[in-house]
Chains A and B, each alone.
Chain A
Amino acid sequence: MSKTVMIVDDSTTLRQVVRLALEGAGYSVLEGADGKDALSKLTGQKVHLIVSDVNMPNMDGITFVKAVKQLPAYKFTPVIMLTTEAGESKKLEGQAAGAKAWVVKPFQPAQLLMAVSKLIMP
């Protein structure tokens, strides 16, 4: 069984490209359009890793990660934050919320894939 990665970002393009890259590497992919949408999709099924943007409408990434960490089923799910090089404070905020891994935006699919495979093998 392949491992499932959830990608949360408000950009359809980004989700689509990330999906392509991850599926190509043998992961299954779930998508969330923003924090709220992603949270509503975390309903019991196994998610091995969450990749989340910070700046999103409806519910930003930090709030989302904090909420995820409150859910018993996903408490230990690793989270990769997509931060910007300018957002150092956001990175720390994200780490405090429980997202210990990060990838700096803009990134190439291979960079994200590398980060993902550090945390979970396909």
Chain B
Amino acid sequence: MSLDDAMQTFIIECRELLESMEAALLSAEEAPASEEAINAIFRAAHTIKGSAGLFGLDHIVSFVHVAESVLDKVRNNEIPLDPPLVALMLQVCDHIGLLVSYLEQLKEPDNDLLEGSAILQAGLSIYLSDTPPPSASTLPVEHDAPYESEGGTPVETDNWHLSLRFNQDVLRNGMDPLSFIRYLGTLGKVVSIITLTDTLPPLDAMDPETCYLGFEISFSSNADKAEIESVFDFVREGSLIHILPPRSKISEYIELIQSMPADDMRLGELLIKCGTLTRQELEDGLASQREVESPDQAKPIGEVLIEQNVVQPVVVAAALDKQKAVKDVKTAEASLIRVDANKLDQLINLVGELIIASSGASLIAQKEALPHLLESTSTISRLVETIRDSALSLRMVPIGGTFSKFKRVVRDVSAELGKDIQLEISGEETELDKTVVEKIGDPLTHLVRNSMDHGIEPAEVRLARGKPVVGTLKLDAYHDSGNIIIEVSDDGGGLNKDKIFAKAVERGLIKPDQILSENEIYNLIFEPGFSTADAVSNLSGRGVGMDVVRRNIEALRGTVEIRSVLGEGATMRIRLPLTLAIIDGFLVEVGDSSYVVPLDMVIECIELPVTQAGHNAENDADFINLRGEVLPYLRLRKHFEITGEPPRRENVVVVQFGDRKMGIVVDQLMGELQTVIKPLGKVLNKIRGIGGFTILGNGRVALIVDVPSMMQEAEHAANAQISDAN
């Protein structure tokens, strides 16, 4: 571990803290913030400042410091956390995020950045009007006045003199006087030291927890007085500590002697013994002192009382109980371990190899048909399956984190658009692969903005349509047959089919006489260069984005579909695979080639009715009647142009994707297997209908059927047939 690692931790931690700060601020906007929430906001700022200070990041420290001071006032109920302040604090959050990202990119803070800091700082300092914001980077350091004194000649020594009478409680407070003196040794040289034991009571009366000792030290050092004084910072309370610089005037020594609660003559002797004073100096000093002061002004010995500092016995139990309630969630967080994502990927790759190896072993066992071998390979397979599931679950994270970011997006965008829009979130606990979660943020943002901008109507239109003035945007996530569905729905105007069609014709995306299904028309909005917004707004409507959305989602092996009811709202449904790496597959064969269909999509397998065998065989797509339902099917043999004669009996694998079904006609059904998806190389990855490949237990390669794209093919083929018929 190095400081760089620590810096990484700092960046990650900052991001987390900012996220929770933002969440707390947003909740504070909706309802008056609880004490707990305000504390959380304050603590986030406080922690960021503290950690930044560790790295000497003064620009961050001084910026966060101001925000922290304002939050401190909020915490003490001096100022309310009203909407303008929340808005300001949100900006502060963003700015801290920016500061941190500069750090992450190893960029030096530039003028723009610092200017941003200054503007926000100015905004914040209004709240601090009575206390001007101190710059944290230049914390006041107390400097002692230069030592000038009158009376007497300088004493002939180059050494400091330290006179220490520790607080009697010093040991009880966990401090060892000796360690301070040892530390003093790091600043210079302890020339001589005299331990005073006069206050030490007889053994039977002695309390071993009490410190009875005093010290007189002659100390040679180049350190300044503040430095030497700071050594005793922690014990100053209740202790008598006198530090005389080298060449102090003799009168100062005399003052010292008189202020000590010991017999002054005896202390004088000690100073001589210590080598600080010569006998002559002492006598001269004492004599001159007596001339100046009347004796009754001398401080009586023992006048200085040592304050006892007793630790108050406190009942901790009450405090413990109070905090128990908050505990639950927080402890769960504390028991997390941070793992490098690369290590996880490596683990998953290895698990993939393990699966292939174990299915190889199973295959051999089946061939050899040795009962013992079969038994043990089946145990291994079962275990491997469990390992696979738990390894994959390591990568799973709830989507809630991504969703809650949209609270802010919706808030900001609705303010920008002047529309009143509320966000409803459900299904936050739905888990999906970390990679997917990371990559889904952008497309989701675009869909959300699009819904808010184009979907939800302005208030007056909503009123005219008899809808509630406040628009609603919903984010939902749930599992659906091996897929994760993420929905963005709004209660806005919905998509206007005719308008989209007209626009697409205008843009030359389609021909005016083309027959398109409702779905196909909606999907036109994902075509590059399509935009129906009459005025290009700041948010969306530039016609770039929706096609990028679809591309991003398809890169995750997902799809996006649109449901819309004109005047009532639209739903964008993103369908994503549960995981990107390993799936349960269904192995089929066509001729000599093996194919894998993702098992989650397989509903049933039937035999191709004899009436269909050979029927329309030159055409690769057709329909069958599946219990009264029209089921389009596609011959894999034709589709991939596999040579050779089909067997007498062909099989149909019925697959479902979304709410569409289709059949895939294959030669033979081989059964289920675990499949590690290997991506196709660059040259091959444009082939429609193939989503990747995998290596079978026997070492052969099988192609993984990409059901969604194959379905599109089948639909196109069907549409073409209809067009032909027309």
Which residues of A are in contact with B by a Cβ distance under 8 Å? 9-14, 16-20, 33-34, 36-37, 53, 55-59, 63, 66-67, 69-70, 75-79, 82, 84-86, 95-98, 100-102, 104-109, 115, 117-121
- Taking the closest CB of chain A, its distance from the CB of B252, in whole angstroms, is 26
Residues of chain B in range 338-369 having any CB-CB distance to chain A below 8 Å: none
A78 touches B53 (CB 8 A): no
B186 touches A17 (CB 8 A): no
CB-based A-B contact count at 8 angstroms = 146
B180 touches A76 (CB 8 A): no
A76 touches B172 (CB 8 A): yes
Across the interface, A55 reaches (CB within 8 A) one of B10, B46, B52, B173, namely B46
Complex CA gap A12/B267 in Å reads 51
Contacts of B323 in A (CB 8 A): 36, 58-59
Residues of chain B in range 42-56 having any CB-CB distance to chain A below 8 Å: 42-43, 46-47, 49-56
A85 touches B136 (CB 8 A): yes
Q: Is B527 on the interface with A (CB-CB < 8 A)?
A: no
Across the interface, A100 reaches (CB within 8 A) one of B175, B327, B331, namely B175
A105 touches B186 (CB 8 A): no
Across the interface, A11 reaches (CB within 8 A) one of B47, B56, B233, namely B47
Contacts of A120 in B (CB 8 A): 176, 179
Complex CA gap A109/B50 in Å reads 11
> Could you tell me the dominant secondary structure of chain A's interface residues?
mixed
- 29 pairs, CB–CB < 8 Å, chain A vs chain B: A10-B43, A13-B51, A17-B6, A17-B51, A20-B1, A20-B2, A20-B3, A34-B334, A55-B46, A57-B326, A59-B319, A59-B320, A66-B311, A70-B316, A75-B174, A76-B209, A82-B50, A97-B312, A97-B314, A106-B49, A106-B50, A106-B52, A106-B53, A106-B61, A107-B53, A107-B54, A108-B56, A118-B183, A118-B231
Q: Is B5 on the interface with A (CB-CB < 8 A)?
A: yes
- Taking the closest CB of chain B, its distance from the CB of A120, in whole angstroms, is 6
Q: Mark B159-187, 1 if CB is under 8 A from A, else 0.
A: 00000000000011111100110110010
Complex CA gap A55/B38 in Å reads 13
Instruction: Given A17-B51, A59-B319, output 11 extra A-B contacts at Cβ < 8 Å.
Output: A13-B54, A17-B3, A55-B42, A59-B320, A76-B172, A84-B68, A95-B237, A106-B50, A106-B54, A108-B53, A119-B174
B47 touches A10 (CB 8 A): yes
Complex CA gap A20/B55 in Å reads 12
Residues of chain B in range 307-325 having any CB-CB distance to chain A below 8 Å: 309, 311-314, 316, 319-320, 323
- Taking the closest CB of chain A, its distance from the CB of B225, in whole angstroms, is 17
Q: Mark B53-85, 1 if CB is under 8 A from A, else 0.
A: 111100001000000110010000000000000
Contacts of A69 in B (CB 8 A): 311
CB within 8 Å for A85 and B231 given contacts A57-B43, A76-B172, A106-B49: no
Q: Is B485 on the interface with A (CB-CB < 8 A)?
A: no
Contacts of B72 in A (CB 8 A): 86
Q: Which residue of chain B has its CB nearest to the CB of A63?
A: B319
Contacts of A79 in B (CB 8 A): 174
B316 touches A66 (CB 8 A): yes
Q: Which residue of chain A has its CB nearest to the CB of B140?
A: A85
Residues of chain B in range 165-216 having any CB-CB distance to chain A below 8 Å: 171-176, 179-180, 182-183, 186, 209
Contacts of B316 in A (CB 8 A): 63, 66-67, 70
- Taking the closest CB of chain A, its distance from the CB of B36, in whole angstroms, is 9
- Taking the closest CB of chain B, its distance from the CB of A98, in whole angstroms, is 5
Across the interface, A16 reaches (CB within 8 A) one of B6, B175, B231, namely B6
CB within 8 Å for A85 and B139 given contacts A55-B46, A107-B54: yes
